[in-house]
Amino acid sequence: MAVAHIGLGANLGDRRGSLLSAIRRLRAEPGLRVLSVSHFYETLPVDCPPGSEPFLNAAVALESNRSPQELLAFLHRVEAAFGRERGATNAPRTLDLDLLLHDDLIVDSPELRVPHPRMHERAFVLVPLAEIAPDAVHPVLRRSVRDLRDSLPTTEVKPCAELPHAGTQLRGLKTLVTGSTSGIGLAIATAFRHEGADVLTHGRSSRADDSRHLFADFTDQLHVDRLANEAWGALGGLDFVVLNAGVDTLTGAAARWPFESKLEDLLEVDVKSTMRLARTLGARMKERGRGSIVTIGWDQAETGMDGDSGQLFSATKAAVMAFSRSLALSLAPEVRVNCIAPGWIRTAWGETASEYWQERVRRETPLGMWGLPEDVAAAAVWLSSSAAAFISGQTIRVNGGAVR
């Protein structure tokens, strides 16, 4: 895998939104892995037509299994998807993705020049690039990025907050997200907080310095019952519950467990704890007169997947999906219950999956890319919000259009 460095810029439309979305698109592409992202910087336009607006710029380091030519072609496709029109040189643009460095390769052709021929002259490129790759070496000039940056005036390159202001649609509403220390669960907890919710997180280890984090080992049902009481008591009731906790049997030591051991833990954590928490907290919500529960299934539980993992996850996640539909009937009309069925989501396993799996994701997903934990989080926020007030008993597939 080669390490490539990409420069990003935008000065038309929602500049911040375009850069954030472009970074997400890079993260979702099979065969690419984003290693680091710089802060955003606002810069004055350089060599642009009169009246051009200031740019937001950033830099990304990524691993790529593609040649520089293939990577550039992909970057151009992403630009086009964001409305980039190639006309006059340095014209205002909705999105600019420049291939700055590709390992230590030197390419000089009519279609592509690497390293980028003007990167060493541009502070708006070197400042964000030096933040994430100060020791990268320009293969032609044989100087580090840090050295090149320090040779230019940088006063016109100003740091800019990269995240939009927090939302308000869930402000003050009390939320529990289980299995929220990493991956999809962490993204869900982050998204709820971003919308103003008061969030309790949960994991299998304690955090003495975090009063909003609860510890429970869901292989022990006594822990499950204790968590239900602690979560309800900590916030004086709950408005939303997202039951995301699940066993990772694809990475780490669990990947080497025998089939029977994986099944036992999946049944305890993914199925029994979900049912126990949903029934207990759902009953309290119903008695109080309001609430929303979101569970996590799997899109291929309905269609099947070969292999041990397919059998394990199909059986356990299909149980969660069927249970959620029945619970929705039991708790209506006071409490809504819905299930999210993710498809190929790029969690820890997907980050290091082999080329076979990268191509399989591309082949089986009509949108041709990985889903991200943030995509599942967005669905969980929507299902919990008033915008989904007439949605209950449904399984929402977040899978890039796979409908086989």
Please report, as a single letter, which amino acid is at residue 342. Answer: P
98 part of the active site: yes
Q: Which of 25, 84, 336, 346 is catalytic?
A: 84
Contact status, residue 369 vs residue 362, Cβ threshold 8 Å: yes
Distance between CA atoms of residues 386 and 390, nearest Å: 9
Q: Is 149 helix (H, G, I), strand (E, B) or coil?
A: helix
397 part of the active site: no
Distance between CA atoms of residues 389 and 150, nearest Å: 55
Q: Is 32 helix (H, G, I), strand (E, B) or coil?
A: strand
239 part of the active site: no
Q: Which of 96, 239, 265, 375 is catalytic?
A: 96
Instruction: Report which of 290, 274, 289 is spatially closest to residue 324, judged by C-alpha positions.
Output: 274
**What does the block give as tokens for 156?**
């016109």
220 part of the active site: no
Distance between CA atoms of residues 82 and 74, nearest Å: 13
How do strand 198-203 and strand 143-144 relate by DSSP bridges? unpaired
Distance between CA atoms of residues 368 and 32, nearest Å: 13
Q: What is each CA distance from 78 to 22, 29, 73, 121, 361, in whole angstroms?
A: 8, 11, 9, 25, 18
Give the H/E segment covering residue 314: helix 307-331
Contact status, residue 273 vs residue 245, Cβ threshold 8 Å: yes
Q: Where does 22-150 show beta strands of DSSP type E?
A: 32-37, 40-43, 55-64, 96-102, 107-108, 113-114, 137-138, 143-144
Q: Which of 93, 122, 346, 397 is catalytic?
A: 93
Q: What is each CA distance from 236 to 175, 177, 195, 230, 333, in whole angstroms?
A: 11, 16, 20, 10, 22
**What does the block give as tokens for 19?**
């850069």
Indicate the DSSP class of residue 139. T
Q: Which of 25, 33, 98, 336 is catalytic?
A: 98
Place of tokens 């929220």: 180
Catalytic residues: 84, 93, 96, 98
